[in-house]
Chains A and B, each alone.
Chain A
Amino acid sequence: MHIIESGNVAAATGVKLARAEVIAAYPITPQTPLTEKLSELVDSGKMKAEYIPVESEHSALAVCIAASSAGSRAFTATSANGLLYMNEQIHWAAGARLPIVMCVVNRGIGAPWTVWNDHQDSISQRDTGWIQLYACDHQQIIDTVIQAFYIAETVSVPVMVCYDGYLLSHTYMPFDIPEQDAVDRFLPKFAPAYFLHPDNPANLNTVTLPDIRPDVRGNMAPGYMEIRHNLHADMRRAISVVEEIDRKYQQAIGRGGSPLMEKYRCDDADFIAVCLGSLSYQLRDVVDTLRNEGVKTGVAGIRLYRPFPDKAVIAGLSHAKGLIVFEKALSYGNQGALYADIKSALYPVTDRPFVHNYILGLGGREIKTPDLLHAFRTSCTDFSNISDEPRWIGLKL
C-alpha cells in the first residue's frame, strides 16, 4: 500500500511491521515524531509491544540491552546529543552481542546547539561495533528498518539505521508499506541462543581477566580479547549477510538490489561522487547536468558504512579517474571519516583514482545544488591543487 508520510512515520511503520516487542525512547529533535508515532501505535492497541517512556537516552538503551538479554526484540531511536549520552551503552550493546535496532535521525552535535542535520552524531559512533546503514529516502527507511532486525539477529550485532534529520525525518514522500504477511514470511521470529531465564541461569557480562581461564569443568573459555576478535570477525561476515538479506527482501517484498552502496551512472564514469544519506540523491541532478556537459560522472551512496564494504568500493569505484567524497562530518584535525575510509579501501589498487574531500552542510547549512555542481565540476577539471586538506562548501568566513 502506498501512502504519503514523513520519514519518521516510515521508520515507525517499519518497527511495527518487524514486530518489535520492547521499545524505549527519550524525546529529542528530530527523532520525536518517530517515538510519538510508536507510542500512539502501542497505546491504541494497533501494535503489541511494551513502550517504555524512559527518563534518559542512557536508560533507553539500558532497557533495550536488558530486554534483548531477556529474549525480546528491542528498538530505540535518538539523535545527536541523545546518541552521545548513550555512548557507554552503545559500546555495551555491541560487546554483549545484542541484536538491538536503533534509528539515528542524523543531527549536528552541540556546542553550540544545533537541531539541524549533519552526520557527526552517527559518524562519531562508527568504532563502537554497531552495524551502520544509511537510508536515502523514505522507502529505504522503512525497508532498511525491517531488514535491520534480520541482519542484527543473524550476526548478533546491533544495527543503527541512520537517516537525515528534517531532510527525511520531517518531509513527506510517497512510499510503499509492505504487507504484514510478507514481512512475517521474510523476517524470522527472534530466537536467541541464550536469554535470561531462571531455568538456565548464567552470569552475563561479568568481569574478564586479561588472559583466558578455565571454567569449573576445566574447559578454557574465551577471554576479553577472543570475545572482541569474534565481534570483529562477525562484523566482517555481516557484509555478505547484508547482501544475502537484501536478496531475500527482494524475493519477499520486491525491492532492493543495492545492499552495500547505491550507484547512479557509475559504471562508465570518470569521476564519481561518494557520500552518505540523502545527499546522494541530490547529487544525481548534478551528475545529470555534468553528463549533459560531456563529463562522465556518477554518484555512489554508501549504504553500509560499518562494516565498511571495502571490496565493493574497489569493484565498483576504482575504475574512475577521481572520487569526490562529499561529507557532512569531519574527524577534527584530520579529514572526513568517509574520505579516509575510501582512501584506505583503495590502497591495494595499483592504478588508484585520486580522491577529493569536501565538507558541507554542517549544522544544517543549506546544500545548494549549484554549489555542489561547481565543486564537482572543479574536481573533474582542475587537478592543480590535489591535497588531503578537505575543502569546504558553503562556508562563509
Chain B
Amino acid sequence: MSEKTSILTLPEEELVHPGNRACAGCGLSIIYRIGLKALGRDTILVVPPSCLTVLQGLYPIASTQLPCLNVTFASTAAAATGVLGALRAQGREKTTVAAWAGDGGTSDIGIQALSGACERGENFIFICYDNEAYMNTGVQRSGTTPQGVITTTTPIRGKLQKKKEVPAIIAAHGIDYVATASAAYPLDLYDKIKKAKTISGPKYIHVHCPCPSGWGFDPRYTVKIGKLAVETGLYDIYEIDHGKFRLTGPSRKLESGKRKPVSEYFKTQSRFKALSAEKIQEIQKSIDEKWEGYHLF
C-alpha cells in the first residue's frame, strides 16, 4: 500500500451531516464517516435495509451528503449493477458506485446478487459492515455470527455453527480486490477504500464492526473491543490484491508479535456468556492452527 493516511492527512471535509440516528458507540458511525471521506463526493451509494438505513435518517431528513438509493434487502449488488449500467449508458463512468450493506444483507439474503455481480465483473465497491447479527431487527443470528454467540434466535446455547467466511467466498470469484478491515482501525479502512477506487471491476471490503447493544458491552469500549478481536487473532485484517494474500496493518504485526488469548476478548461481551471453558479452549486451538497456516505463507 502507498503512503498511509494519518489523522493529520485525512481530509477535513465531512460528507455526513452532524447528528444521526445510530446508537451510542456504534462502530458503523465511525466507518461511515471515514468511509465516505475515502469514497468522495463523486459517489452514488446503494443501501439495503440495515442499521445504515436508520443511521442515514428518516424521511425527509438525511445525514448523508451523497446521493443514495435505498433498495430491497436481497438486491444490493444487482441495484449497484443497475446504477452502473445507467452511468455507462450516460457516459458518467467516472462516478464511483459503492454498495454498503450489513452482514445479513451480504452473507445471507444478499449473497446471490453479490455473487452474480462479482461473476459479471461489475465495477463497484461493496462494503460489508459486519456486526455479526441482524442488529437492526433486534440481534438475530446471521451467517456471520460467530460460534457460541447468544442472540435473540440463539438465546440459550448460543449459535452452534461457525461464522461464514464471506471474504473467502467472494475471493473465490477471482475478483481483483478483497480486503478486510475493522471499525477500530478506520484509517486502514480509509486507505483500502482509496486503493479499491484505483482498481476496476468488483472490489469487496469486509469491515468488522463492534455493536455495543448487540454484543453487550459499554459503548465507550467500541474501539477497544474491535482492537481486541484483532489482537487475539480472532478477526484478521488482510487484503487479497490481484490474488495475492497478505496480512495488513495490525494483523501483520501479529505475524512476529504475540497474540492475546481469545478469552480476553470473550470476557468483554455478554454475548459470549454461553461459551464453556472447554469451548474457549477449542476456539483458541483453532485460532492457533489458523495462525500456523498464515506462517506457512
- List residues of A whose CB falls within 8 A of some B CB: 21-22, 24, 49-50, 52-56, 58-60, 62-72, 74, 88-89, 92, 195-198, 200-209, 213-216, 221, 223
**What separation, in Å, do the CA atoms of A205 and B59 have in the docked complex?**
8
B169 interfacial contact with A, CB 8 Å = no
**Residues of chain B with a CB closer than 8 A to A49's CB:** 89
Given contacts A24-B85, A66-B79, A213-B61, contact A54 B69 (CB under 8 A): no
B285 interfacial contact with A, CB 8 Å = no
Instruction: State whether A202 touches B62 (Cβ < 8 A).
Output: yes
Interchain residue pairs with CB less than 8 A apart (9):
A55-B119, A56-B116, A60-B78, A62-B75, A64-B82, A66-B86, A203-B70, A206-B56, A215-B60
Partner of A204, one of B61, B70, B120: B70
Partner of A72, one of B53, B58, B86: B86
**What separation, in Å, do the CA atoms of A92 and B113 have in the docked complex?**
17
**Residues of chain A with a CB closer than 8 A to B88's CB:** 50
**Residues of chain A with a CB closer than 8 A to B83's CB:** 66-67, 69-70, 196
Interface residues as binary, B70-103 with A (CB distance below 8 Å gives 1, 0 otherwise): 1110110111111101111110000100000000
Partner of A208, one of B58, B65, B78, B116: B58
Instruction: State whether A205 touches B82 (Cβ < 8 A).
Output: no
**Residues of chain A with a CB closer than 8 A to B41's CB:** 198
Partner of B59, one of A56, A64, A221: A221
**What separation, in Å, do the CA atoms of A67 and B74 have in the docked complex?**
17
Please give the distance in Å from A223's CB to the nearest CB on chain B: 8
Given contacts A52-B85, A71-B86, contact A62 B58 (CB under 8 A): no
Please give the distance in Å from A127's CB to the nearest CB on chain B: 18
**What separation, in Å, do the CA atoms of A312 and B54 have in the docked complex?**
46
B57 interfacial contact with A, CB 8 Å = yes
**What separation, in Å, do the CA atoms of A17 and B86 have in the docked complex?**
18
B213 interfacial contact with A, CB 8 Å = no
Partner of A66, one of B42, B58, B82: B82
- List residues of B whose CB falls within 8 A of some A CB: 41-44, 46, 53-54, 56-62, 64-72, 74-75, 77-83, 85-90, 95, 112-113, 115-116, 119-120
**Residues of chain B with a CB closer than 8 A to A22's CB:** 82, 85-86, 89
The closest CB in chain B to the CB of A89 belongs to B72
The closest CB in chain B to the CB of A26 belongs to B116
The closest CB in chain B to the CB of A56 belongs to B112
Given contacts A66-B46, A198-B41, contact A72 B70 (CB under 8 A): no
**What separation, in Å, do the CA atoms of A85 and B115 have in the docked complex?**
18
The closest CB in chain B to the CB of A224 belongs to B59
Instruction: State whether B71 touches A215 (Cβ < 8 A).
Output: no
Instruction: State whether B59 touches A208 (Cβ < 8 A).
Output: yes
**What separation, in Å, do the CA atoms of A197 and B95 have in the docked complex?**
9
**What separation, in Å, do the CA atoms of A263 and B88 have in the docked complex?**
44
Instruction: State whether A205 touches B64 (Cβ < 8 A).
Output: no
Instruction: State whether B65 touches A65 (Cβ < 8 A).
Output: no
**Residues of chain B with a CB closer than 8 A to A62's CB:** 71-72, 75, 78-79, 81-82, 113
**What separation, in Å, do the CA atoms of A106 and B41 have in the docked complex?**
44
Instruction: State whether B112 touches A55 (Cβ < 8 A).
Output: yes
Partner of B78, one of A54, A88, A196, A209: A54
Instruction: State whether A59 touches B90 (Cβ < 8 A).
Output: no
**Residues of chain A with a CB closer than 8 A to B42's CB:** 198
Known: A24-B85, A63-B81, A198-B95. 12 other contacts (CB 8 A): A24-B81, A50-B85, A50-B86, A55-B116, A59-B116, A66-B81, A71-B86, A196-B83, A198-B43, A198-B44, A201-B65, A221-B60
**What separation, in Å, do the CA atoms of A203 and B68 have in the docked complex?**
5
**What separation, in Å, do the CA atoms of A209 and B112 have in the docked complex?**
31
Given contacts A196-B67, A201-B66, A221-B59, contact A92 B72 (CB under 8 A): yes
Partner of B69, one of A58, A66, A207: A66
Instruction: State whether A74 touches B82 (Cβ < 8 A).
Output: yes
Given contacts A62-B75, A201-B66, contact A70 B119 (CB under 8 A): no
**Residues of chain A with a CB closer than 8 A to B82's CB:** 22, 24, 52, 62-70, 74
Instruction: State whether B90 touches A71 (Cβ < 8 A).
Output: yes
The closest CB in chain A to the CB of B116 belongs to A55
**What separation, in Å, do the CA atoms of A98 and B113 have in the docked complex?**
21
Please give the distance in Å from A185's CB to the nearest CB on chain B: 22
Instruction: State whether B58 touches A55 (Cβ < 8 A).
Output: no
Please give the distance in Å from B79's CB to the nearest CB on chain A: 4
Please give the distance in Å from B116's CB to the nearest CB on chain A: 3
Instruction: State whether A213 touches B59 (Cβ < 8 A).
Output: yes
Given contacts A50-B85, A59-B78, contact A201 B58 (CB under 8 A): no
**What separation, in Å, do the CA atoms of A78 and B80 have in the docked complex?**
21
Please give the distance in Å from B17's CB to the nearest CB on chain A: 9
Interface centre among A55, A64, A88, A205, by most B CB within 10 Å?
A: A55
Please give the distance in Å from A361's CB to the nearest CB on chain B: 33
Instruction: State whether A196 touches B44 (Cβ < 8 A).
Output: yes
Given contacts A21-B86, A89-B72, contact A198 B67 (CB under 8 A): yes
Please give the distance in Å from A211's CB to the nearest CB on chain B: 11
Please give the distance in Å from B55's CB to the nearest CB on chain A: 11
Instruction: State whether A54 touches B116 (Cβ < 8 A).
Output: yes
Please give the distance in Å from A167's CB to the nearest CB on chain B: 32
Interface centre among A72, A74, A198, by most B CB within 10 Å?
A: A198
Instruction: State whether B58 touches A70 (Cβ < 8 A).
Output: no
**What separation, in Å, do the CA atoms of A202 and B65 have in the docked complex?**
8
**What separation, in Å, do the CA atoms of A70 and B80 have in the docked complex?**
10
Given contacts A54-B116, A67-B82, A207-B54, contact A201 B59 (CB under 8 A): no
The closest CB in chain B to the CB of A212 belongs to B60
Please give the distance in Å from A48's CB to the nearest CB on chain B: 8
**What separation, in Å, do the CA atoms of A198 and B96 have in the docked complex?**
10
The closest CB in chain A to the CB of B82 belongs to A66
Instruction: State whether B116 touches A207 (Cβ < 8 A).
Output: no
Instruction: State whether B80 touches A203 (Cβ < 8 A).
Output: no
Please give the distance in Å from A95's CB to the nearest CB on chain B: 11
**Residues of chain B with a CB closer than 8 A to A21's CB:** 85-86, 89-90
Instruction: State whether A65 touches B53 (Cβ < 8 A).
Output: no
The closest CB in chain B to the CB of A217 belongs to B60
Partner of A209, one of B46, B58, B62, B79: B58
Question: When A and B form their complex, which 8 residue pairs have the shortest distance between CB atoms, in order from nearest?
Answer: A66-B82, A55-B116, A59-B78, A70-B86, A62-B75, A62-B78, A63-B82, A221-B60
**What separation, in Å, do the CA atoms of A56 and B115 have in the docked complex?**
11
